Homo-oligomer: A and B are copies of this chain.
Amino acid sequence: MQLGFADRLVAAILAKRTPLVVGLDPRVVQLPEGLQPTDRSLQTQAAAVEVFCRGVIDVVAPLVPAVKPQVAFFELLGPAGMTALHNLIGHAREKGLLVIADGKRGDIGSTAEGYAEAWLGRGDQAAWGADALTVNPWLGRDALEPFVRCVELEQAGLFVLVRTSNPGSRDYQAPLADGLAMFERVARDVEALAERTTGACGYGSVGAVVGATWPQELSRLRELMPSTIFLVPGFGAQGGSAADVAQAFDSDGLGAIVNSSRGVIFGWEAAARRHLAGRDWQKAVELAAEDAIAQLRADTAAGKL
């Protein structure tokens, strides 16, 4: 029997000795020169994105525990883009990576069941076959329940959007109701789901997305969610430093994964500007990933991994 998601993720973090997750946000205009699509059809663009992301996956597979494809950039390329995403999820899993589909899905009742089964279902006829999915809590706890049931049945994982990294997250996540900020209310409910899905590693397979641009809140959220794995976006290009994310970890360097997307996959742009890697974009992606891993080891408890 397969281990639960939290146990698989912690094992992968320990094996790779890093909590770094590489985000696959393939903007076509930013692809390396040699991979730019030769025409503007969605098919050609999707093919270019697939080649690029395969190249990124091949480079980072020995280095990190997981990749996080951003579904929006594949949806943007229509059916051909979704086919590319399907192929890339399969490729990443073959390479031993865990795959966190960043879809921020959410709906009610049987529609939520549909999304859960679509992204987290297993077997020959799995639609996408990811290991974990990001979900939006706005619709309420009963709307999360079909996803949690899928976590339990399919040994899958979930990351609930507790606190996002954008300035506007204050609008509906920060208001105080009965002395509790809305995101603290969600955090409390996510912790209950994490406790319900706790594996041998001590963490649950239901995790939380917590933006790194609110470092002063990370300790408070760590307190509120001791059993919950944090997915911290916003490291690197989005502005958070390794020191900013330090409070997300427990003293063993576990309990959190940190995502870098553009900083790694388009790291070759900066490298090329500095003439470090010339035209070898894959080498530059590797260097950028190693650099992010080193920063996390230097400035956080991830150094103990």
Q: Which of A123-144 contact B (CB under 8 A)?
A: 125-128, 136-143
> Which of A49-57, A158-166, A263-271, A294-302 lines the interface with chain B?
A158-166
- Cα A118 to Cα B78 with chains together (Å): 7
Q: Known contacts being A27-B110, A118-B72, A177-B175, is A166 close to B182, with CB within 8 Å?
A: no
Query: What residues on B are CB-neighbors of A141 within 8 Å?
Result: 168, 171
For residue A149, CB closer than 8 A to chain B, the reply is: no
Give residues 53-94 of A contacting B (CB, 8 Å).
Answer: 70, 72-73, 75-79, 81-83, 86
Contacts A82-B79, A125-B40, A127-B75; is A142 near B118 (CB within 8 Å)? Answer: no
* Stretch from A9-17, A99-107, A219-227 at the B interface: A99-107
Min distance, Cβ A158 to any Cβ of chain B, angstroms: 15
A112 to chain B, nearest CB (A): 8
Determine the distance from Cα of A42 to Cα of B104 in the docked complex, in whole angstroms: 23
Instruction: Bits for A270-304, please: 1 = Cβ < 8 Å to B, else 0.
Output: 00000000000000000000000000000000000
B75 near A165 (CB under 8 angstroms)? no
Given contacts A40-B125, A137-B172, A182-B182, contact A164 B76 (CB under 8 A): no
Contact present for B127 and A78 (CB under 8 Å): yes
A33 within 8 Å of B by Cβ?
no
Given contacts A72-B111, A73-B111, A172-B185, 5 further A-B contacts (CB under 8 A): A75-B115, A78-B82, A138-B161, A139-B161, A140-B170
